[in-house]
Amino acid sequence: MKISNPVSFNRSTMTRMAPKIGQYIILTLLVIPFVYPFWWMMINSLNTPDQIFGMPRLLPVSWKWSNYTEAFAYQPFAKQFLNSLYIASLVTMGNLFISGLAGYAFAKMKFKGKNVLFLLLLSALMMPIEVTLIPNFFFMKSLSLIDTHIPLILIPIFGAQGAFTTFMTRQFFITIPDELEEAANLDGLTPFNTFVKIIVPISTPVFSATAILSFLYSWNSFLEPLVFNDNISLFTIPLALANFNDSYGLPQWHLQLAAATASVLPILIVYVIFQKKIINAMAFSGLKG
Amino acid sequence: MTGIHKKKVTPYIFIAPQMVGYLLFVLGPLIAVLVYSFQDRNLLTGINQFVGLQNFSKMFRHDPIFWKTIGNTITFSLGQVPLNILLSLAIAIMLSRQFRGVGFFRTLFFSPVVTSAVAWAIVWKFLLQGGEQGAVNALLGIIGIQGPNWLFEPGWAMFSVIINRVLKNLGMNVIIFLAAVMNLPQHYYEAARIDGAGRIRIFLQITVPLLMPTLLMVTIITVIGSLKVFDTILLLTAGGPSNSTMVLVYYIYYQAFQFFQYGYASAVALVLFVFVLVLTAIQWSTRKRISHYEN
């Protein structure tokens, strides 16, 4: 229905453009509180403590790069960074393997009690880890596992996060046609080898999505490390960030901001590169409830 | 014979690690927390004494902070959820149109979601400093408004943690709504346009009803999430001032790991469990009804 009327042409482009420009203005105003804190954090990670406060600046005043070296010297931040990295990696791998295997059995195999067991496992999805934290603390204590990383690795793999990965992988495996496995069976592959050699390679979409979720879950988790670890050299990044206080309990603001920037920036960069994958994975996780 | 035997066992071997882990770290602890709630557990003396309903009577009858905590948790949810849902739906609808830079905006709105709540709260703690110290008040000062001491005044502290949490998690709901809006069946819209329906009418009579299932689901997810808020509170206000931001999970943590009242904290944890259970039940029943409609 494009009837161009030369007289009203100017006017109609105006009315067509106006909402568009308005939309840009509204979105830009709305997005500021979501984005500006990151900019503020980066700028002030390069300032002295007294330059941090007052009227916000657009650029750092003193470009004090030594804040970063000081932050890494203040507590074993490099070690804490590695702690987070290896814990999140182990959680991710354990999650994919153990939950993937279970998800495969629930999707493709027939066995007694399947539905009951699956429902039981699904119930973990609605179980807040906060509810079971105290018994888990006593359990870990009785095994002398407090002040180790083992609770931070085991609980996400086997708890709600694991149940969620099982659910997610199951939903994907169900869509794989049975003929593939029948062929593998004829070739004499065991179920385990069928899973590893046939199923896993064609399931990268669901595995990469769950990997992202498990990694971010572990990387950002705060309450469990707080409860299970007291020793500063065992801290993960979120704990370390909360811990930039001097011996009098006064916060070391500039160092805290440098450490926060150093921890947030890698995640943001990875996010910008893989944003489509990450957003899709997170959107899916929102559906779990 | 062995082949058949093997086949029967295989699925159980596949699910065994996950199921055993579930028993050890989820179901077992859930039963344990129920047992603990009838005990006085003392880590120092190692005495775990059965005290009957003492924890519950303390909680419901003799602990004003518990009721304050429940009230605060509800305030936090009621404050957070409508703001989050309305704003994320509006942003999702704006971002569902095709225009230059739409992907850029999506990326930006979502970026706090991938960031740790700890880093997010730390930065906002600076921005919300009182006087002219914090950036927020400094900017308000330009237009002649003297901002409050956001995190240290009882009325404003709750407001501040609500806003902080909304900004942190909103991107998530934007993405869920966006997916739903983009998948709306287009033929309804074409029919409505042919009938000459206006934009507002189309929105209210087509978009909103079609989005209802998603809206319900997102609302419940957001409520459950808001019941579990912890790191934001710990870092911004530590439950203060004068317990005005003390919420359920923070209270559980405080009673158990600061005050060593493990039995009492377990009783409070059960309250959280019941809340989540009820909400999940509502979610499942609505989901059932919705899938019934779809069929």
Instruction: List, as own/partner pairs, every contact residues A145-149 make where C-beta atoms lie below 8 angstroms and the sequence separation is at least 24, other chains included.
Output: A145/A228, A146/A228, A146/A229, A146/A230, A147/A228, A147/A229, A147/A230, A147/A231, A147/A234, A148/A228, A148/A234, A149/A83, A149/A87, A149/A229, A149/A234
Does the distance separating the beta carbons of B179 and A275 come in below 8 Å?
A: no
What is the structure's pLDDT at B77?
A: 95
Any bridge partners for residue A245, and if so which?
A251
H helical segments located in A189-286? 191-193, 200-202, 204-220, 223-228, 237-241, 253-273, 275-286
pLDDT tens digits, residue range B8-47?
Answer: 899 999 999 999 999 999 999 999 999 999 999 877 777 7
What is the structure's pLDDT at B23?
A: 94
Query: Which amino acid makes up residue B87?
Result: L
**Element at B90 (helix H, strand E):** helix B64-95
Q: How many CA atoms lie within 13 A of A267 on its CB side?
A: 27
Contact A281, A209 (CB under 8 A): yes
Regarding predicted confidence, which is higher, A152 or B41? Answer: A152
**pTM confidence score:** 0.90
**Residue A250 in contact with partner chain B when CB distance is under 8 A:** no
- Which among B26, B113, B276 has the least Cβ separation from residue A159? B26
Per-residue pLDDT for A182 more than 80? yes
What is the structure's pLDDT at A8?
A: 46
pLDDT tens digits, residue range A60-73?
Answer: 888 888 889 988 88
Alpha carbon distance B90, A248 (integer Å) = 46
A contact test, residue of B42, B55, B69, B123 with most A CBs within 10 A: B123
**How close does chain A come to B117, measured CA to CA in Å?**
7
What is the structure's pLDDT at B3?
A: 46
Residue A245 CB neighbours (<10 A): 13
pLDDT tens digits, residue range A89-132?
Answer: 999 999 999 999 999 999 999 999 999 999 999 888 888 899 99
**How close does chain B come to A61, measured CA to CA in Å?**
16
Alpha carbon distance B95, B91 (integer Å) = 6
Alpha carbon distance B264, A127 (integer Å) = 19
Q: Which residues of A touch B267 (CB under 8 A)?
A: none
What is the structure's pLDDT at B213?
A: 86
Which range, of A47-51, A102-106, A167-171, averages the lowest pLDDT? Answer: A47-51
DSSP class of residue B40 equals: E
Contact A75, A258 (CB under 8 A): no
Distance of CA A207 to the CA centre of its chain: 14
Give me the interface pTM, i.e. the ipTM: 0.89
Q: Return all residues near A122 (Cβ < 8 A) that are at least 6 apart.
A: A163, A167
- Which among B26, B129, B283 has the least Cβ separation from residue A289? B283
What is the structure's pLDDT at A123?
A: 87
Q: Which residues of A touch B117 (CB under 8 A)?
A: 220, 222, 238
What is the structure's pLDDT at A130?
A: 93
Q: Return all residues near A97 (Cβ < 8 A) that are at least 6 apart.
A: none
Q: Which residues of B touch A101 (CB under 8 A)?
A: 14-15, 17-18
Does the distance separating the beta carbons of A260 and B122 come in below 8 Å?
A: yes
